Structure 1
Amino acid sequence: MAAVRQDAWTPEDDLILAEVTLRHIREGSTQLAAFEEVGERIGRTSAACGFRWNSCVRKRYEEAIQLAKQQRQKRNQMKKAGSGQQLPPQGDQSEQAGRIAAGVEEPLSFDAIIRHLRGWRNAYQDAVRQIKSLEKELKERDEEIQELRAKNEQLIRDITNTKSEYRAVNDDYRTLIQIMDRARRLAVLEEGEEGKPRFKMDANGNLERIE
């Protein structure tokens, strides 16, 4: 199953990445093989290891990389010469490379330590700035959500009031139509009554039409 770690890189992860990659460089292997080995050790993909090396870690170990390349070159030269001998210690170069991989240059100096600490300080400051930026963005998003909720509640109230007003106007309209309909019927009845002939009886018992 492919590694899918998504957490931030720790100093220990960076150190493992540097040590393994430098070893592969010294031994004449490929960086891809180094990234695959590191990925298996720390639970990340080789692509993530390669991106981390090229974008961040590599810059801290330029001198260590040059030293590893020199060791590889000497090793290759000795193989070509058929000497079959191991590289000379030269002041215990393996120990030197290990120290350099840990972020300390040889010889150990205050300048090297200061550069190393400054690198970590800059990385920490960058992380703090990113966190503050994300917190600010999150706060703005929360405020925007609150505003949208308030507007939504106001729209719901407006819609409810509009519906109530519509029902009231509709009821008034129906009442008005009913009143007008009754008035129209009464007018028709009155017109009908006026059109009918009226009679009255005289003293002799005869009906007399009244105009």
Structure 2
Amino acid sequence: MSAVRQDAWSAEDDLILAEVTLRHIREGSTQLAAFEEVGERIGRTSAACGFRWNSCVRKKYEEAISLAKSQRQKRSYYKKQSPLSGPQVAGVAAQELEQDAYKNDGATEETLSIDAVIRFLRQWKGGLQESSRQYKLLEKNLREKEEELARLRSENERLLKEVSEVKTDYHVVNDDYKALIQIMDRARRLAFLNEEDEELKTRFKMDANGNLERIE
């Protein structure tokens, strides 16, 4: 069993649907039979073909439908005539039917061809407009991305500069800290030496008679 199509109807699908349906109307067949034939040809269900015909395609071929119905009525009329009417009636009927068929086929073919071209041009125009819209949208997105990239690059350069400055400040502070530690260490050692010198110095005091005596 072949897969049933679910895609959108194309101009060619509509053209096939119109041609087959008009032929069935002209020959006195049913539209259901036409939809079944079309469905087999284009891979769709008869229900889908019927819905497409009644909702969209039919209104475009009102004149062709009227011609097809007129030809069908003439066929039916001449079939009901008595065989005793003679070959003259049959000849006239055949001639009229042939003329109607030629006119109907010519008008239908011309109408279908013009409509198909118009639909194709409209679809092409719509596709071109959509492509143009998509192109402009992509172009806008590209500009926005380029602006965003430039902003990020500028931000990155600024951050790198700040990091470099922080590193420089860190080295300066670190050097100052080391120098301060060295100064504090020297001061501590100097204070310790001064205390030792004070302890080593000889101490004297004056007694009641005014004499100096050594303090141990």
Give TM-score scaled by structure 1 length. 0.59
Q: 1:7 to 1:123 in 2, by over 3 A?
A: closer
In 1, Cα distance between the equivalents of 2:124 and 2:16?
24
Name structure 2 gaps, 5 residues minimum. 83-92, 203-216
Give the Å deviation of 1:140: 0.7
**Structure 1 residue identity aligned to 2:30:** S
**How many residues are matched?**
183
Q: 1:101 to 1:17 in 2, by over 3 A?
A: farther
In 2, Cα distance between the equivalents of 1:121 and 1:23?
21
Partner of 1:101: 108
Partner of 1:91: 96
RMSD: 4.3
Q: Rg: which structure is higher?
A: 2
**Structure 2 residue identity aligned to 1:16:** I
Q: 1:155 to 1:95 in 2, by over 3 A?
A: same
Q: 1:177 to 1:48 in 2, by over 3 A?
A: farther
**Structure 2 residue identity aligned to 1:40:** E
Partner of 1:129: 125
**Structure 1 residue identity aligned to 2:5:** A
Q: 1:38 to 1:98 in 2, by over 3 A?
A: same
Name structure 1 gaps, 5 residues minimum. 105-115, 201-205
The question of 1:138 aligning with 2:139 is answered: no
Partner of 2:89: none
Indicate which of 154, 157, 161 corresponds to 1:158.
154
Question: Whose helix fraction is larger, Structure 1's or Structure 2's?
Answer: 2
Q: 1:198 to 1:6 in 2, by over 3 A?
A: same
**Structure 1 residue identity aligned to 2:133:** E
Q: 1:74 to 1:120 in 2, by over 3 A?
A: closer
The question of 1:9 aligning with 2:11 is answered: yes
